[in-house]
Amino acid sequence: MPGGEGVAHKITKSTLSALITLILVLPANIYLIGDGLGAGLQFPLLRYQQTYLGTNLITLVRDFEYVSSGILGGKTALSVLLWIGGTLLLVAAVMYLVCRWYEEYASIKKLLSLLIAGAGIAYLASVVVQYGPLLHGPAGFSIPVGVPMVLGVAWLAYHAEIEEEYLEEEDPDEDDALEETSDESPRPGEDFSSSTSPSEPGQER
């Protein structure tokens, strides 16, 4: 590339906010419990889990209740708290973008990208705490499929060129000019030639 500069990725704020929201509804982790005791999909806001005891849908609120009541402890409790922290960072990123919607994007992109990247790091740390640095151990194994997407959106939020979105407003002066022009235009059936042309000499008596 001339001058060593790459091609900037251009997106709108609406597209960026949609990407962040999409992260909140897509599965971020696939895991297997122990030696095939169960498996599940972990979303930012809930877990879908199948074990020999049945199928469960566990929300973040329920997970937090398990931790606060002492049902979950040790590294499992820490893993849950890290996951909750990642989700809170994503929600904060969405709210921050919406609240600063009409400000210049260059002034908010650094904090926005840090919030999103922090969420990705928190999710990865949650998985590492539970399953080990190799994502495999006595507790089972994990595939954090959503972490690369979260970090990718964070990179995009910082490096992309944001196209500002403006609503087209009508110019009142232009509308007045059009109305005046329409008032001066001849009406159907009206002949201006007879009323404006002078009488020829000799025709008046």
Q: Which residue has the higher pLDDT, 110 or 173?
A: 110
- Residue ranges of alpha helices (H) inside the chain are 13-25, 60-68, 74-99, 109-131, 147-159, 172-184, 193-196
Asked whether residue 13 is domain-assigned, the answer is yes
pLDDT > 60? residue 99: yes
Asked whether residue 194 is domain-assigned, the answer is no
Asked whether residue 55 is domain-assigned, the answer is yes
pLDDT of residue 26: 93
pLDDT > 70? residue 176: no
CATH code at position 130? 1.20.140
Q: Which amino acid, residue 28?
A: A
Asked whether residue 172 is domain-assigned, the answer is no
In which residue are the tokens 């000799």 written? Answer: 202
Asked whether residue 181 is domain-assigned, the answer is no
Answer whether 0.85 is exceeded by the pTM.
no
Q: Which residue has the higher pLDDT, 49 or 5?
A: 49
**Number of structural domains the chain divides into:** 1
Q: Which of 12-26, 60-74, 184-198 has the lowest mean pLDDT?
A: 184-198
Asked whether residue 173 is domain-assigned, the answer is no
Length of the chain: 205
Tell me the percentage of the chain whose pLDDT exceeds 70: 76
Asked whether residue 125 is domain-assigned, the answer is yes
Copy the structure tokens of residue 92. 């904060």
Q: Answer for the pair 44, 87: CB distance below 8 angstroms, yes or no.
A: yes
Determine the structural domain holding residue 120 and report its residue range.
Answer: 9-163
Asked whether residue 190 is domain-assigned, the answer is no
Residue 94 burial (CB count, 10 A): 18
Which residues pair with residue 140 across a beta bridge? Answer: 33, 137
